[in-house]
Chain A
Amino acid sequence: MYAPEFDYHRAGSVAEAAELLSKHPDSKLLAGGHSLIPILKVRLASPSALIDIGRIDSLRGISSDGGTIRIGSLTTHAELASSEVLNVAATALSEAAGMIGDPAVRNRGTIGGNVAHADPASDLPAVLACLGAEFVISGPEGERTVGASDFFEGLMTTAVGEQDILTRIEVPASGPGEGSAYAKFAHPASRYAVIGAAARIASSGGTCTGASVALGGLVPAPVRAGAVEQALVGGPLTEESIAAASSAVADGLDDDEVLGDVYASAGYRKAVAHIWVRRAITAAAGRSG
């Protein structure tokens, strides 16, 4: 199907994109187009204009100063998946990016578009919530930085306002004794996440000294699994203790919030979520210590 008609403007810089956004009410930013174009094709959105930010080179790429990894919003899923820096210091993120859709989707889709769109079935929001990422947003009042819990506000809503541009995402690099992983129950047709679990584990001599676990796919916006984290910290990272901690995940899920569809009901997702939580924690624990 053809998208409704819209105007098109190409921005050469963030400042130019901001100016175009303010000049054209009801316009939308276009990055990789892999969420926006499908929506336009089925006419679920009809912006007056698209502001193409896809050629702003300053928004691209991954850099690290050792402590913090900075990821430009235009960095593609394929670049995340093959990044040596991320493979080592934010393993869950490169792992999750490599599980997105299919190779052609990963070649064009971007991290910024993925999180700004905030589809509950996306993979990256849960990973970034788990890793404690910060989101740098450029708006009419200047630049501001927002943590993951404030960034993801709800179903497809984020802290990115209509006049805002997400410029980069900052992820703390994992230190010695830390590892992270992502486990995904992928929808067999769409490849989107039915359940996604991200875990970051710190350990010392086989004992868990720190844990962060977040879930996506089955909730409107990513949530941390506090009960699982508490059950892990201070205990041994054995198969049994990880399985026991993972089973606490269902208690932390609000029944009214859990999403279901014809493929996987809310009750089913809630009942099996612990499996993916366990897999993510097990892999992260194996990479820690």
Chain B
Amino acid sequence: MKIPVSITINGRRYDRNVAPRLLLVHFIRDVLGLTGTKVGCDTSQCGACTVLLDGVSAKACTCLAVQADGTSITTIEGLAGDDGLHPLQESFWNKHGLQCGFCTPGMIMASHELLRCNPDPSAEEIRHGLEGNLCRCTGYQNIVRAVQDAAAGGSQ
């Protein structure tokens, strides 16, 4: 069985026929070739696949492409504007919020959600808000600093 879907990703609409079992993350990576979004686990726990689905964070490995039919999705590739990097991207760069970078797209999308719900979070609130995202490299300290920096408009 193939189901027609129409999904807008980073402002561009894609019409495709997909198998019901196709995960949204595989639609994004394998069908569309947008490989910024990662797959880090089979258990919905690592957050490497985090995207914004109609503006709120979602794990693209725990959503079928058919469920996302008609929605509008933002991936890491869609965050930067014409005028350069998104403030979160700038802050992760400036505060060295990454080492290997594998978790970074998901971390940045989850941080986007965190700041949407709480524009001025404490360090503890940042750790709590990023609970669904695992990083094997940084020890999280610089990720917390990066989010604090972005919340402060890049002034820290």
Contact = CB atoms under 8 A, between A and B. Distances in A.
A1 B39 CA distance: 11
B58 interface: yes
Contact of A34 (B47, B62, B113, B114): B62
B143 interface: no
Nearest to B134: A189
B39 to A, nearest CB: 10
Given A7-B1, A33-B67, A37-B63, A105 B21 contact: no
Given A33-B63, A34-B44, A38-B62, A104 B132 contact: yes
Contacts of B23: 37, 41
Contacts of A191: 131
Given A52-B66, A108-B62, A103 B57 contact: yes
Interface residues of B, number: 31
A33 B61 CA distance: 10
A37 B57 CA distance: 17
A72 interface: no
A3 interface: yes
Contacts of A107: 53, 56-58, 113
B42 A42 contact: yes
Interface string A106-126: 011000000000000000000
Interface string B27-67: 00000000000000011110100100100111101111011
A45 B66 CA distance: 19
A103 B63 contact: no
A85 B129 CA distance: 24
A107 B42 CA distance: 19
Interface in B62-80: 62-64, 66-67
A179 interface: no
Contacts of B133: 102
B123 interface: no
Interface of A: 1-8, 10, 30, 33-34, 37-38, 40-42, 50, 52, 54, 78, 101-105, 107-108, 189-191
Given A2-B21, A40-B21, 15 more contacts: A8-B1, A30-B64, A34-B62, A37-B62, A37-B63, A50-B20, A78-B56, A102-B131, A103-B114, A103-B131, A103-B132, A104-B47, A104-B50, A104-B59, A105-B59
